[in-house]
Amino acid sequence: MKDFQVIKKSSFYFIGLKWTGTYEAAAHGEIRPVIEASKVRLKELNLAGENSSLIGLSYQDRPDGFTYYIGTEAMNTDGIPPDLHGIIVPSNHYAVTEHEGQNAWKSYEKLYRWVEKQGLQINSHGLIHLEVYSMDYDPYKMSPSLVIGVPLKKKGKSID
């Protein structure tokens, strides 16, 4: 992958667990147990295939924090247990980059600057971040490896 690029992601059905909290709580690792629990649930229920990715969806839905869903693209939508959440993620263009290690916020800041330089605009309503990890990601390791993405909206310059 180039440092930064725009990709189009087709609509998909997401299934996973939910965490709600502040940015400070997230920075202190409060999401880690939810990530681990989601991986366990997805495996127990056979909802993730061999080539599935672990997907994180961040929604800016409160002034003091956000809601984070961690799960995968569903292989089927039949009989979703009540502890899991299903979300239809609409087709969209995303500005993406790869991130290695701690302090993902630094990669997000670089991505935001790149988007602005390209004359594009981030869609800041609803889904604000998409993260893609390998399914074997261990949230307690010190060096996460992931693809981060921010949804784009049209602004003068076409992204189609």
May I ask the CATH architecture of the domain 5-153? Alpha-Beta Barrel (3.20)
For the chain, give every domain's residue range. 5-153
Q: What mean pLDDT comes out for the span 29-52? A: 89
How confident is the model over 120-159, as pLDDT tens digits?
999 888 899 999 999 989 888 767 889 999 999 865 554 6
pLDDT digits (tens, 9 = 90+) for 88-121: 999 999 999 999 988 888 999 999 999 999 999 9
- Going by their DSSP bridges, the two strands 53-62 and 12-21 should be labelled as unpaired
Look up residue 142 and give its two tokens.
Answer: 């010190």
Report pTM: 0.90
Bridge partners (DSSP) of residue 66 are: 21
The per-type count for the chain, helices as H runs and strands as E runs, is 3, 9
DSSP assigned state of 141: S
Pick the range with the lowest mean pLDDT from 6-10, 37-41, 48-52, 68-72: 48-52
CA dihedral 159, 90, 83, 49 (to 10 degrees): -80
pLDDT confidence band for 160 (50 / 70 / 90): low
Distances (CA, A) of 63 to 21, 50, 59, 66, 80: 11, 38, 11, 8, 30
User: Do the Cβ atoms of 39 and 54 come closer than 8 Å?
Assistant: yes
